[in-house]
Amino acid sequence: MNFADLIQIVWENLRAHRMRAVLTTIGIAIGIAGVIAVVAVGQGGQAVIISEIEKMGSSLYFDISPDYMRGETADSNTFSIEDPTIIKELSPAVDKMAAITLGPMVDVRLPNSDKNTIMASLYGTHPDLIHVLNLSIEKGRFITDLDVTSHSRVVVIDAGLAEDLFPKEDPLGKKIFVQDTPLTVVGVLEKAPSSMLDAFSVRMVYTPITQAQDMLNTRVINQLCGTAVSEEALPQAISDSIKILESRHSSVSKSYMGTTLEEQLEMVGKVTSILTTVIGAVAGIALLVGGVGVMNIMLVAVTERTREIGLLKALGARRRDIMQQFLGEAVALCLLGGLIGMIVGIGGAFAIALAAHWPPLISVWTVLLAIGFSVIIGLFFGLYPASRAASLSPAEALRHL
Amino acid sequence: MISVSGLTKVFGSGDAAVHALRGVDLEISEGDFVAVMGPSGSGKSTFLSILGCLERPSAGEYYLDGRDVNSLEDDELADLRNRKLGFVFQSFNLLPRHNVLRNVEMPLIYAGVPGDERRKRAQELLEQVGLGHRLTHKPAELSGGEQQRVAIARALANNPLVIFADEPTGNLDSKSSLEIMELFQKMHRAGRTIVMVTHEPDIAAYARRVIYFRDGKIVREEAKDELR
């Protein structure tokens, strides 16, 4: 039997059982679509998170925090406001450094308006932060040393918040209330080109660290972050910083840990790829179930058509001809399901990516793998029934009812 | 052309063993028309299956067209059935999902006949059995007599040496039976060898030789002079 004949016969057979063929195809399509969409969304998300983190600073970035691996947390003795200045002076490896007192959720509102309170993250910090985090100012200025020493009631807001609070006006010089403390807006940051934080609506306000501590009524500094003079100096910068901190805070015997951007990226990469693998595995199980569906259909087809197989053998079909026909039907179902699943999966990945504002990362490999897998499922699950069908003696098969 | 000796067939084993054939010897020469009769369970259908190479005997010798059938591999038997043998069954056994033309084409497909030639040949055969106007119908859209005529056209596809028919008129009314037997007679006159199982004496009457089976053995044989 040549290929064109085979295709025609397979097509005529499948068309005769349209409903059954369609349902089986859907089963496979769901599995394939799931795998492709999950992997694409997962990889896209991973890429976005990584680019977000990369945007936080250069490859020179590092931060020092209490050693939370050993269960330590920051208290008022862990860091002091002067630490960054002293570390910069003592360590030639450290270029810029700022301390951060974090108010993870503060209320921001316009004066005389109790409504429209916006939730934001408050960063109480030093002037160096703008360099450490690679931020840039769109209007006005960032925090200055004078602001820090004089507890100035000033605030720098991000572009999103400026949009929210002052859609039509220039925010510079205006008063806003942060945790019910009136602050003057002295600067607006440039809008970050990304998206992920916008999507989650996390707004940022930056104040002098001294002012933030007054507002939050705390002396706790959560972490120090800084940059090294060069990538080679990064380990030196971290170990110097930790040594200086340990000697300066020896009375409380704290231990510190330093993290580089690289390490953070690695961690995020690990977490997201584990997530992708897990969800991918679930989708893979869906695919497997679809495959068992194909095998079931093929078994039914073989049992139901045993007589027909006997007849085909009587007409001169060889074992190979019977195998080809049944395998052909199974592969056709899976391939069709695979193509539909591919289209739906890619479409789905694009739709999710569009909604979540991140680029869909559909790798050719995922698609090839999914299609290849569907064909293999067809071959694998078609093989057993087909081989069973082909090994019957024609008389035996013809006696079958 | 067909020569069997000491043919036996046992189904199952031990106490459950059923002896369908208990030593059958027979010679059928080219162009003969043989009817096989006998009560049900007498082994006549099993005998036809073995002659048609649809089943292997448990013991005994079988020569078909000079070849030792027992020594052939499964694929060689498939080729033999494809090119040298044609089958007509009681229940027609057409492929329900394919149209009439495709049904007749099937043996030609397995024989590797190219598409155009195949369709032409199938069409000719269907015209010969009077169904040239039904090429694209599905089997279910035809009457029993018409379906059996499609089956005959299919049996003749590769111009076989022998036609095996198992109760070809068993599912047909008397008028259709008559039409079908006329086709068999036409084949016989054209020199085709035919072996037909039946339990109806008036159908067997079309044959030149009638063989009677009982308990897995040939018990009687009648030969007639050329009919009419």
Which residue did the predictor score with more confidence, A38 or B80? B80
The predicted-structure confidence for B74-128, as pLDDT tens digits, reads as follows 999 999 999 999 999 999 999 998 999 999 999 999 999 998 999 999 999 999 9
Output the pLDDT for position A55.
65
Q: How far apart are CA A92 and CA A269, in angstroms?
A: 32
pLDDT band at B24 (very low <50, low <70, confident <90, very high): very high
Angle between helices A3-16 and A319-356 (to 10 degrees): 70
Average pLDDT over residues B29-44: 93
**B12 falls within a domain:** no
Q: Looking at the domain assignment, is residue B19 inside a domain?
A: no
* Domain match, A277 and A249 both: no
Mean pLDDT over the full length of chain B: 93
Over residues A168-172, mean pLDDT: 90
* A260 in any annotated domain: no
Of A201, A224, A254, the position where a domain reaches its end is A254
Chain B residues bordering chain A (beta-carbon distance below 8 Å): 49, 52, 54-56, 74-75, 78-79, 81-83, 87, 89, 93, 95-98, 102, 106-107, 109-112, 115, 154, 158
B146 belongs to a structural domain: yes
Give the number of other CB atoms < 10 A from CB of residue A134: 14
Cβ under 8 Å to B: A residues 310-369: 310-321
The domain tally of chain B equals: 1
% of residues, chain A, pLDDT over 90: 27
Q: Is the distance from CB of A47 to CB of A361 less than 8 angstroms?
A: yes
Domain boundary among A254, A289, A314: A254
CA dihedral (A64, A65, A67, A72) in degrees, to 10, reads 160
Cα distances from B206 to residues A69, A241, B177, in angstroms, run 99, 111, 12
Residues A79 and A204 occupy one common structural domain: yes
Distances (CA, A) of A18 to A21, A25, A324, A325, B141: 5, 10, 20, 17, 19
Q: Does residue B120 belong to any structural domain of this protein? A: yes
In the prediction, which pLDDT does A250 show?
Answer: 81
**Mean pLDDT, rounded, for B49-66:** 94
Give the rounded percent of residues in chain B with a pLDDT score beyond 90.
Answer: 90
A79 within 8 A of A273, measured Cβ to Cβ: no
> What is the DSSP pairing of strand A154-157 with strand B59-64?
unpaired
Burial bucket for residue A52 (CB in 10 Å: 0-12, 13-18, 19+): middle
Tell me whether residue A58 is in a domain.
Answer: no
Q: Considering only CB atoms, which chain A residues are within 8 Å of B111?
A: 316
Asked if residue A342 is part of any domain, the answer here is: yes
Q: Per the CB < 8 Å rule, is B81 touching A313? A: yes
Query: Do A236 and A303 belong together in one domain?
Result: no
For chain B, say whether A1 makes contact (Cβ under 8 Å): yes
Contacts of B79 in chain A (CB under 8 A): 316, 318
The verdict on residue A290 lying in a domain is: yes
Provide Rg for chain A, Cα atoms: 32
Q: Which of A315, A322, A396 to mutate to test the interface with B (most CBs of B within 10 A)?
A: A315
Separation of alpha carbons A70 and A66, rounded Å: 9
Find out whether B146 and B131 touch, Cβ atoms under 8 Å.
yes
3-state class of B26 per DSSP?
strand
Provide DSSP, A47-113: HHHHHHHHHHS-TTEEEEEE-GGGT----TTT--TTHHHHHHHH-TTEEEEEEEEEEEEEEEE-TT-
Contacts of A319 in chain B (CB under 8 A): 74-75, 78
Looking at the fold, whether A118 and A201 belong to one and the same domain comes out as yes
- The region of weakest confidence among A191-200, A215-224, A225-234 is A191-200
| Tens digit of each residue's pLDDT (9 = 90 or more) over B182-226 | 999 999 999 999 999 998 999 999 999 999 999 999 999 998 865
Using the structure block, give the residue that is written with the tokens 């916008």. A198
* pLDDT tens readout for residues A239-286: 999 999 988 888 776 788 888 887 877 887 788 788 778 877 877 787
Predicted confidence band at A192 (pLDDT cuts at 50, 70, 90)?
low
Residues A206 and A315 in one domain: no
pLDDT, mean of residues A104-119: 82
Closest CB from B55, B106, B115 relative to A315: B106
Same domain, A137 and A230: yes
Q: What is the mean pLDDT of chain A?
A: 84
Total number of domains in chain A: 2
- Residue whose structure tokens are 């007639």: B224
Is the residue at A64 inside a domain?
Answer: no
Name which residue leads in pLDDT, A213 or A3. Answer: A213
Give bridge partners of residue A139 from the DSSP assignment: A188
Chain B residues lying within 8 Å of A15, measured CB to CB: 97
Closest Cβ–Cβ partner in A1, A13, A317 for B97: A13
pLDDT exceeds cutoff 90 at B165: yes
Judge if A280 and A329 occupy the same domain: yes
pLDDT at A163: 86
- CA–CA distance from B124 to each of A45, A287, B94, B120, B121 (Å)? 66, 48, 18, 6, 5
Residue B37 lies in a domain: yes
Q: Does residue B102 contact residue A11 with C-beta atoms inside 8 Å?
A: no
Q: Is A19 an interface residue toward B (CB < 8 Å)? A: no
Q: What is the CATH number of the domain that holds B139?
A: 3.40.50.300
- Residues of the domain holding B124: 29-56+71-223
Print the domain residue range for A105.
Answer: 73-254
Which residue from A159, A163, A210, A145 is spatially nearest to A183, judged by alpha carbons?
A: A210
List pLDDT tens digits, range A364-400: 887 888 788 778 877 887 788 778 877 888 888 888 7
Asked whether residue A225 falls in the same domain as residue A311, the answer is: no
pLDDT computed for residue A57 by the predictor: 60
Q: Search chain B and give the residue with CA nearest A15.
A: B97
Whether residues B102 and A316 touch (CB distance < 8 A) is answered with no
Size of interface A-B (CB pairs under 8 A): 74
- Per CB-CB distance under 8 Å, the chain B contacts of A9 are 98, 102, 109
B74-103 as b/e: b if 16+ CB within 10 A: eeebbbbbbbbbbbbbbbbbbbebbbbbbb
Do A92 and A33 belong to one domain? Answer: no
Provide the shortest C-alpha distance from residue B109 to chain A (in Å): 6
In a domain, B106, yes or no: yes
Name the domain boundary from A229, A254, A279: A254
Provide the pLDDT confidence category of residue A197 given band limits of 50, 70 and 90.
Answer: very low
* Residues A88 and A45 occupy one common structural domain: no
Cα distances from A151 to residues A102, A121, A154, A172, in angstroms, run 16, 19, 9, 19
Q: Which of A380, A353, A381 is nearest to A38 (CA)?
A: A353
User: Which of B50, B74, B136 to probe the A interface (max A CBs under 10 A)?
Assistant: B74
Question: Which one-letter amino acid corresponds to residue A392?
Answer: L
Under an 8 A CB cutoff, do A318 and B110 touch?
A: yes
Which residues in B125-175 belong to E strands, given as ranges? 162-166
Query: Both tokens of residue A246?
Result: 């340990």
Inform me whether the pLDDT recorded for A201 exceeds 70. no
pLDDT value at position A56? 62
Helices (H), A201-318: 209-216, 234-248, 261-304, 306-314
Residue A261 lies in a domain: no
Least Cα separation, residue B81 to chain A (angstroms): 5
Residue numbers in A near B112 (CB within 8 A): 1-2
Residues of A in contact with B83 (CB under 8 A): 316
Within-domain flag for B38: yes
Strand-pair category, B209-214 with B33-37: parallel
Whether A201 maps to a domain, the answer reads yes
State yes or no: pLDDT of B142 exceeds 70. Answer: yes
Q: What is the pLDDT of residues A319-370, one digit of tens each?
A: 889 888 888 888 888 888 888 998 998 898 888 878 877 776 777 887 888 7
CA gap A129, A66 in Å, rounded: 19
Statement to judge: residues A271 and A162 lie in one domain = no
Over the range A96-111, which residues count as b (16 or more CB within 10 Å of their CB) and which as e? Answer: bbbbbbbbeebebbbe
The string of DSSP letters for A180-192 reads: TEEEEEEEEEPPP
Residue B228 has pLDDT above 50, yes or no: no
Closest CA to B55 of B20, B83, B88: B20
Residue A43 lies in a domain: yes
Under a CB-based contact definition with an 8 Å cutoff, are residues A87 and A243 in contact? no
Per-residue pLDDT averaged across A52-65, rounded? 77
**Domain-located, residue B183:** yes
